[in-house]
Amino acid sequence: MLFWTYWLLAALLLALIARELWRASEWRMQLAAALVLLPLLLRVLLFK
Amino acid sequence: MKLRAAIFAVGVLSLAIYTGLGFRASQVDEPLYPSPSLSKIVRLSEYDSRLRGTRADTDVYEFGEPDGGATILVLGGTHCDEPASYIAAYLLLENIEMERGRMLIVPRTNRSAMSHKTIGEAHPPTFDIPLPNGVRPFRMGSRYTNPLDQWPDPEVFVHSPSGQELSGADSRNLNRSYPGAANGNFTGQIAFAITELVKQEHVDLVIDLHEASPEYPVINAIVAHERAMDCASMAVLDLQLEGLEFALEPSPANFRGLSHRELGDHTLTHATLMESANVSQGRLRGKTNADLVVSGLDSMYVRAAKINMTRVPYDEKGIPLKVRVGRHIAGFHKLISAFSQLNPDRAAAFTGIPTYDELQQHDLGIYLDPHDHP
Amino acid sequence: MSESLVLAVMIGVLCTGIFALRIPTGVSLLLAALAGSLASGNGLALHFIAEGSLLYLDPLMIVATSLFFMAVFERSGALATMNVWVVKTFGDRRAVLIPLLMLLVMFPGMFTGLTAPCVLTTGAMIAPVLLSAGVPPAVAGAFIAAGAFFGMVAPPVNICAMLICGGVDMPYIGFDWPLLLMTVPLALLSGFLILYKSLGGFNARQALQSLPESKYDLHGPKLFVPLVALAALLLGEKYAPAVVPHLGIPLIFLLSALLALFTGDKVSIRESTTWTIQQSLPILALLVGIGSFIEVLTLSGARGWIVVTLLSLPDWQLYVGMALLVPLFGGVSAYGASVVLGVPILLSFLDRSNILVAAALSMLASVGDFVPPTRLAVVLAGPVVGESNPTRILKHSAWPIVLGIMVSLGAIYFANDIAKLIGLA
Measured in residues, chain A has a length of 48
Structure confidence at residue B27 (pLDDT): 95
| C157 interfacial to chain B (CB closer than 8 Å) | yes
Write the burial class of residue C96 (CB in 10 Å: 0-12 exposed, 13-18 middle, 19+ buried): exposed
How many interchain CB pairs under 8 A, B with C?
140
Structure confidence at residue C204 (pLDDT): 76
Q: β-strand B349-351 against B270-277: which pairing, if any?
A: unpaired
What's the rounded mean pLDDT across residues A6-35? 96
E runs forming strands in B71-193: 71-75, 97-100, 102-106, 126-131, 134-139, 156-158, 165-167
**Contact check, Cβ <8 Å, A35/B12:** yes
Helix C249-260 crosses helix C225-239 at what angle (to 10 degrees)?
A: 160
- What residue type is C277 in one-letter code? I
CA distance A1 to chain C (A): 11
Structure confidence at residue C336 (pLDDT): 86
Q: Are B191 and B161 in contact (CB under 8 A)?
A: no
Q: Most B CBs within 10 Å: which of C47, C294, C338, as the mutation test of the B interface?
A: C47
Nearest CB neighbour to B23, from listed A22, A31, A48: A48
B87-111: pLDDT as tens digits = 999 999 999 999 999 999 999 999 9
Q: Are C140 and C127 in contact (CB under 8 A)?
A: yes
Cα B333 from Cα B95, distance rounded (Å): 14
Nearest CB neighbour to B120, from listed C162, C241, C291: C291
The answer for residues whose C-beta is within 8 angstroms of residue C44's C-beta and 6 or more apart is: C34, C37, C38
Q: Which residues of B153-181 are buried (b: 16+ CB within 10 A; e: fewer)?
A: bbbbbebbeeebbbbbbbbbbbbbbbbbe
Any chains having at least 3 CB pairs less than 8 A from chain A are B, C
**Contact check, Cβ <8 Å, B170/C157:** no
E runs forming strands in B221-278: 221-224, 247-250, 270-277
Helix C25-39 crosses helix C3-15 at what angle (to 10 degrees)?
A: 150
Cα B167 from Cα B257, distance rounded (Å): 13
CA C380, C381, C385, C388 torsion-angle sign:
negative
**Contact check, Cβ <8 Å, A39/C288:** yes
CA C258, C260, C266, C272 torsion-angle sign:
negative
Q: How many CB atoms lie within 10 A of CB C310?
A: 20
**Contact check, Cβ <8 Å, A41/B16:** yes
Q: Are B212 and B275 in contact (CB under 8 A)?
A: yes
> Where do the domains of chain B lie, and which CATH numbers do they carry?
31-372 (3.40.630)
Nearest CB neighbour to B155, from listed C40, C113, C300: C113
Q: Which residues of B250-264 are buried (b: 16+ CB within 10 A; e: fewer)?
A: ebeeebbbbbbbbbb
Structure confidence at residue C103 (pLDDT): 94
Helix C376-385 crosses helix C269-300 at what angle (to 10 degrees)?
A: 160
The answer for residues whose C-beta is within 8 angstroms of residue B312's C-beta and 6 or more apart is: B214, B219, B220, B277, B319
Q: Which residue of A has its CA nearest to B10?
A: A34
Write the burial class of residue B243 (CB in 10 Å: 0-12 exposed, 13-18 middle, 19+ buried): exposed
Write the burial class of residue B86 (CB in 10 Å: 0-12 exposed, 13-18 middle, 19+ buried): buried
E runs forming strands in chain B: 38-43, 59-63, 71-75, 97-100, 102-106, 126-131, 134-139, 156-158, 165-167, 205-212, 221-224, 247-250, 270-277, 349-351
Measured at the CA of C363, the angle between CA C160 and CA C239, to 5 degrees, comes to: 55
Structure confidence at residue C425 (pLDDT): 66
**Contact check, Cβ <8 Å, B286/C350:** no
Residue B374 pLDDT grade (very low, low, confident, very high; cuts 50, 70, 90): very low
- What residue type is B262 in one-letter code? E
The answer for residues whose C-beta is within 8 angstroms of residue B339's C-beta and 6 or more apart is: B70, B72, B204, B205, B231, B270, B346, B347, B348
Q: Which residue of B has its CA nearest to C56?
A: B119
Any chains having at least 3 CB pairs less than 8 A from chain B are A, C
ipTM, two decimals, is 0.97
Cα C142 from Cα B180, distance rounded (Å): 45
Cα C81 from Cα C79, distance rounded (Å): 5
**Contact check, Cβ <8 Å, A47/B150:** no
Find, among B279, B281, B268, B272, the residue nearest to B239 by Cα: B272
pLDDT tens for the 425 residues of chain C, in order = 899 999 999 999 998 998 898 888 899 999 999 999 999 999 999 999 999 999 989 989 998 998 899 899 989 999 889 889 988 888 888 888 899 999 999 988 898 888 988 999 899 989 999 998 889 999 999 999 999 999 999 998 898 998 898 888 788 888 999 999 999 999 999 999 999 888 777 777 778 888 888 999 999 999 999 999 999 998 888 788 788 888 998 999 999 999 999 999 999 999 999 999 998 898 899 889 989 999 999 999 999 999 999 999 988 899 999 999 999 999 988 988 998 899 999 988 988 999 999 999 999 999 999 998 888 999 999 999 999 999 999 999 999 999 999 999 999 999 999 999 988 76
- What residue type is B108 in one-letter code? R
| A8 interfacial to chain C (CB closer than 8 Å) | no
- The lowest-confidence range among B19-28, B350-359, C373-382 is C373-382
The answer for residues whose C-beta is within 8 angstroms of residue C258's C-beta and 6 or more apart is: none
| C278 interfacial to chain A (CB closer than 8 Å) | yes
**Contact check, Cβ <8 Å, C51/B117:** yes
Q: Which parts of C264-353 fold into alpha helices (H)?
A: 269-300, 302-311, 315-332, 334-337, 343-348
Structure confidence at residue A33 (pLDDT): 97
Give the DSSP per-residue string, C30-58. HHHHHHHHHHTT-TT-HHHHHHHHTTTHH
Q: Most C CBs within 10 Å: which of B150, B153, B287, as the mutation test of the C interface?
A: B287
DSSP B228: G
**Contact check, Cβ <8 Å, A34/B9:** yes
Cα C398 from Cα B323, distance rounded (Å): 52
Find, among B101, B114, B77, B118, the residue nearest to B259 by Cα: B77
Cα C206 from Cα C133, distance rounded (Å): 8
3-state helix, strand, coil in chain C (%, to 5): 75, 0, 25
Q: Are B324 and B278 in contact (CB under 8 A)?
A: yes
Cα B107 from Cα B29, distance rounded (Å): 11
For chain A, the structural domain boundaries read 2-44
Structure confidence at residue C67 (pLDDT): 87
Cα B303 from Cα C305, distance rounded (Å): 10
Nearest CB neighbour to C285, from listed A2, A6, A36: A36
What's the rounded mean pLDDT across residues B326-350? 98
Give the DSSP per-residue string, B174-192. GGGTTT--TTS-HHHHHHH
**Contact check, Cβ <8 Å, C241/B158:** yes
